[in-house]
Structure 1
Amino acid sequence: MNELLVPGRFCGPPSSGNGGWTAGALAALLDHDCPDNHAAAWPTVRVTLRRPPPLDVPMPVVDGIATTEGGAVAEAEVLADELGAVEPVPHDVAAEAAARYPGLTSHPFPTCFACGTGREEGDGLRIFPGRVDDDHDGRTRVAAPWTPHPSVAEDWHEYADEARRASVAVTWAALDCIGGWAGDLSERLMVLGRMTARVDTLPVIDEPHVVMGGARGADGRKTFTASSLYDADGRIVAVAEHVWLAVDPADFG
């Protein structure tokens, strides 16, 4: 039996796991034709988060469902769906946008592994997205630069080259919060409810990347967004879509 455990380092809110990291770690446990080199793509996987993922608690995983004594925490399934990409901007434009990151002024979860301002370099990802020009369909885009730190390198894949790469879970985490900032996270508190992602390759450690986020609409307490990760040559590394749920701030301290 597989087990999912979210170490405290990978929190979102202080007492629960970062949604993207948790979803990616669960996706990596699914039975599918996972590649043994960086050139092959992982399948599209959808993960639904049923409850805030607990930290440092072993969760048995059966048929893609991670549970605790309280019931299902997250459910993952392989899909045949195609995911679109958020149009990219050059790295220098993304770097300029990071200076306009709303989280620098007010952040609901400064401890967040992916986008938290309270995390040090080498501890959190420090992906700080700021708004750039809208895409060709007039939808809001945000962008951030990201250079994967050696501390997020994985250690179990054999690659066709000698490049060290970030883990699957970290790749999902990099695609996570930027979606929220492309939506209305600055206007209302939201948490990740569902994330669907396809990883084409894993990001290279110490190589500059660009992370893009795009708004895709809203319906009641749900907000829909997308994100894409690009390498230094402008090639797609991974893409994702999200469903965010507005929550009561009292529930998260």
Structure 2
Amino acid sequence: MSPVPDLVIARRFNGPPDSANGGYACGRLAALAEAAGHLDGCAAVTLHLPVPLDSPLTYRVSGRRGHAWHGDDLVASVAGGGAGLPAPPPVGPAQAGAAEAAFDGAGHPFPGCFVCGTARPRDGMGLRPGPVAGSPGTVACAWTPGPDLADENGRIRAEFVWSALDCPGGWTADPARRPRVLGRMTAAVGELPLAGARLVLVGRLERLDRRTAAISTALYGTAHGRPLAVAGSVWVALDGAATG
């Protein structure tokens, strides 16, 4: 296995006020697993604790899994995620625009979230996933990622694709009434979009239990119906402390 440097997530990339955005953290951890040589392709990341900001995580490989530690605390685990993740059906640009216009962030549990926070108009990703008319439990929004999220080839970096696949899921199950945070995320990124591309994100509630919600999300280019990336996630209702 290749040596893996410590991971430090900058405070800019928060979800809850004092921990990382779950999707961003999962994307960075999936990249660590690939760098460590024990994972190639679809990754499943489980968040055991809130992912700290501005503080190093140590990544250690054990068999086919990797574990991220903050001191003596196990923060996250990474394993292969298998294949065949279901994707919610595509939503056209006009329908996504109408859904975005219906976004109601008044009850946002984490208005400072880097990805969808209503208090981050300038340095966040600005996602506004709103309800899709005629499709209960489905949300959508448009996304045109800027060059600040891209690599040297103009492709959006994978951790921001993971981020974009994360937050729409939180808006499928009335977060103002019962806030939830990401507990587990499995994603397969087939194609990194170019900066400036016109994209559509779709999230669909697959199952709602007492404390957990199972959600599927997909990133689509507006020119075709094939998803560029898909994810399945489990969100956990807050019991006083955020976990991702």
Hey, what's the Cα distance between the residues in 1 that align with 2:151 and 2:78? 21
Q: Does 1:245 align with 2:236?
A: yes
Hey, what's the Cα distance between the residues in 2 that align with 1:91 and 1:173? 20
**Alignment match, 1:87:** 89
Question: Please, which of 51, 54, 59 is the counterpart of residue 53 of structure 1?
Answer: 51
**Alignment match, 1:12:** 15
**Alignment match, 1:24:** 27
Hey, what's the Cα distance between the residues in 2 that align with 1:189 and 1:133? 23
Contact 1:99–1:130 (Cα < 8 Å) also in 2: yes
Q: By how many angstroms is 1:191 displaced?
A: 0.6
Give the number of aligned pairs.
Answer: 232
Q: Does 1:72 align with 2:70?
A: no
Normalising by structure 1, what TM-score? 0.86
User: Percent identity among equivalent residues?
Assistant: 40
Q: By how many angstroms is 1:134 displaced?
A: 4.9
Hey, what's the Cα distance between the residues in 2 that align with 1:251 and 1:71? 16
Instruction: Describe the SS at the equivalent of 1:251.
Output: coil
Hey, what's the Cα distance between the residues in 1 that align with 2:95 and 2:126? 17
Contact 2:92–2:222 (Cα < 8 Å) also in 1: no
Hey, what's the Cα distance between the residues in 2 that align with 1:70 and 1:112? 27
Normalising by structure 2, what TM-score? 0.89
1:28-80 deviation digits (Å, cap 9, x = unpaired): 1113799xxxxxxx621100000010001111111221111241111111132
CA-atom RMSD in angstroms: 1.9
| 1:32/1:8 CA distance change after superposition, 3 Å | closer
Q: Does 1:197 align with 2:193?
A: no
| 1:222/1:24 CA distance change after superposition, 3 Å | same
Contact 1:98–1:145 (Cα < 8 Å) also in 2: yes
1:153-183 deviation digits (Å, cap 9, x = unpaired): 124xxxxxxx611111111000001011112
**Alignment match, 2:41:** 43
Question: 1:162-181 to 2 correspondence within 5 Å?
Answer: 164-181=154-171
**Alignment match, 1:236:** 227
Which contiguous aligned blocks of 4+ residues in structure 1 show a shift greater than 4 angstroms? none
Amino acid at match of 1:78: G
